[in-house]
Structure 1
């Protein structure tokens, strides 16, 4: 198989590093960029890395930057995005960028709907997809009305998560009672629109994902399902310890939805299985590579490489059968989750070490590329120490 086309990756978080590792180890030249900030140090040695303009407030500069990168290369590069901001940018300027890069996205309107929690909820209602009870509040009167119908505790979630996390690094805010809700809602509302949602019961292992890669004509080229074991923060966070697991019921639920939405390219749906009724309830849909996608390559599917082969015209055979039981571990987050759960009596040291057994892939730990792991570990530990000092 040919690897003559280079790849350009926008994102140097663990998501982007996973793409770098998947491609560079197959002999593909990779160029990776991110904005100046937490990822400007500890760059991957498996790619030519650098700083790029921001997709949020330097659109013209980023467009010019990407054109310049592509013009210096012999062949059209495959363009990857590991974060929502870059996805929106690429989609918005797809007509211009497609002259220089190879990529595949669904319609721009669908991307924007999927990044909008309110629109995603409306899609769930349209297609009769079970989801958490949700309230949209725009004023104090609506907030009071929602309180009469809510069961506490509940959660506040940003409508546009990628925008909200620029100000508040949380996926959701846990609300214990009506008093806390009335106090906290106006505080967090300053950073963007919010929804109020019931908490679906169940621990981290009730979270599942189904991911698919559809070609231009919606032919299914890759399929993968997984289950969370742990996330960080443990209550409302992102994956820390994941296991590959074929879940036929989830495939039957998720794949038709992605096809109905015409979500070409890479898409992922997260569900939480409600122990009260056994239903998979929609959490979110992402039109991009997700944090733990590097698990797919070690489970026989390899989304990043399949995407590359398709876009470079190499007609890859569909990869629809995965190896189950492979673990993906974001080591520093797994350790911090252990410390958090140990306090609550939910996890022992024995449990922690047991989770390191068996076939596994680490999110960042790699002997041929040590700096992203060192950077991430130091950053997580430093931020945890700062939070602890503020709370003391």
Structure 2
């Protein structure tokens, strides 16, 4: 590694419990690369890492003008004082870096990608159109432009269906739906659509039954010619919320067919940089269908490493600093667990009876999202920030139920 070139973790918005950023700090920091990070405050897990040289406290919402965000990044670059590799952890940051790469290259090293491509990939409609144009399987999707379109869809669609926000950034403003929402029938759809206004900002997508599907992930880093320097495949065993949220447990599993499909698609669209792709294998027709194309590192990227010790973050740093990226087979059988969400996910999946046939029975190695012997403070900070709101919520539930019991007794008190 070129230890004279630091790395900067860039995020936009308020999500302090992000294990992907901590993983990137550890991945390069353990190799002696100076690491910096944008954080919400000084008490986030990322800011607590022993491998972090400095935290730049910069609370953002995602509603700022892009020009002010670029100015803020350039000010951070001046504070670091030397060329630095940028690592976005969310779509907003990835789009910002791509669209303003020319200005940011005054201070930073960033992949060479078409400025408009990350925004199009982060959009559900843009991604679906690219899939259709390049023959990549994807769940059938419609994009209602009016209330009448929703009513027409409700009258003819096969339910259940899935509703998602059309643009990746809607969660920062006034999202029509919160995350992936399963809709059982036309009555439920029309009831939900009352709050969408005359121009619904949603997509309505074919539902792939969890009983006949498997969730797969592909992580890769591609060079300026869109050729993969590293590419990994894995299977998602659990997520939170169940079947529709963040990865809670996953394994590296070889899948040459999926690797070839992802490589060809990335090459055709001309993407350069780190990618995190979500696919669902539909056993009904034997096809892998692309659900999400995240033009940045995924939170679970530390699951994936090859025999040479290279993950996607190390690959990007090596490539952008002019180093050779060592090749090697992916370390099949590795497992990734996110401690603060996997317990709940495990209980939910056991109740549902869903299994993942391709998951190994036993892991060759387990990578934890938070806990690391050589860097314990991020785990402790996560616990403090995660447990306190949970305890407060439980206490409020207890107070509410206790008050309800008291009010139900004649006289308002115990008898």
TM-score using structure 1 length: 0.88
Q: How many residues align?
A: 385
* Cross-structure match for 1:364: 370
* Cross-structure match for 2:39: 34
User: Any idea what SS the aligned residue of 1:157 has?
Assistant: strand
* Cross-structure match for 1:351: none
Q: CA deviation at 1:74?
A: 4.8
Find 2:262's aligned residue among 227, 232, 254: 254
For 1:242 and 1:230, how far apart are their aligned partners in 2?
7
Aligned partners of 1:53 and 1:65 also within 8 Å: no
* Cross-structure match for 1:63: 70
Name whichever of 48-57 and 175-184 sits farther off.
48-57
**Cα deviation 1:272-322 (Å, max 9, x = unaligned):** 0001111001101111111111112376431111111111112323x3521
* Cross-structure match for 2:412: none
Find 1:301's aligned residue among 300, 305, 310: 310
Find 1:101's aligned residue among 100, 103, 108: 108
Q: In structure 2, do the counterparts of structure 1 residues 100 and 41 end up closer, same or farther at CA, with 3 Å as the change threshold?
A: closer
Aligned partners of 1:228 and 1:242 also within 8 Å: yes
Q: CA deviation at 1:14?
A: 1.4
Aligned partners of 2:211 and 2:354 also within 8 Å: no
Find 1:282's aligned residue among 262, 284, 290: 290
**Cα deviation 1:240-287 (Å, max 9, x = unaligned):** 001011100101211000000001111232210001111001101111
Q: CA deviation at 1:62?
A: 3.4
Q: CA deviation at 1:218?
A: 2.8
TM-score using structure 2 length: 0.83
Name whichever of 53-62 and 359-368 sits farther off.
53-62
For 1:364 and 1:340, how far apart are their aligned partners in 2?
22
* Cross-structure match for 1:24: 29
1:155 paired to 2:196 = no
Q: CA deviation at 1:185?
A: 2.1
* Cross-structure match for 1:350: none
For 1:41 and 1:26, how far apart are their aligned partners in 2?
17
Q: In structure 2, do the counterparts of structure 1 residues 320 and 346 end up closer, same or farther at CA, with 3 Å as the change threshold?
A: same
Q: CA deviation at 1:378?
A: 5.0
1:1-392, aligned counterparts within 5 Å? Answer: 1-11=1-11, 13-35=18-40, 39=44, 43-47=48-52, 48-52=54-58, 54=60, 56-57=63-64, 59-164=66-171, 170-187=178-195, 193-202=201-210, 206-297=214-305, 300-317=309-326, 319=327, 321-344=329-352, 358-380=364-386, 386=393, 389=397
Q: CA deviation at 1:122?
A: 1.1
Aligned partners of 2:277 and 2:292 also within 8 Å: yes
Q: CA deviation at 1:139?
A: 1.9
**Cα deviation 1:326-379 (Å, max 9, x = unaligned):** 0011111111112333444559xxxxxx98964110112123333433344455
User: Any idea what SS the aligned residue of 1:206 has?
Assistant: strand
Q: CA deviation at 1:92?
A: 2.4
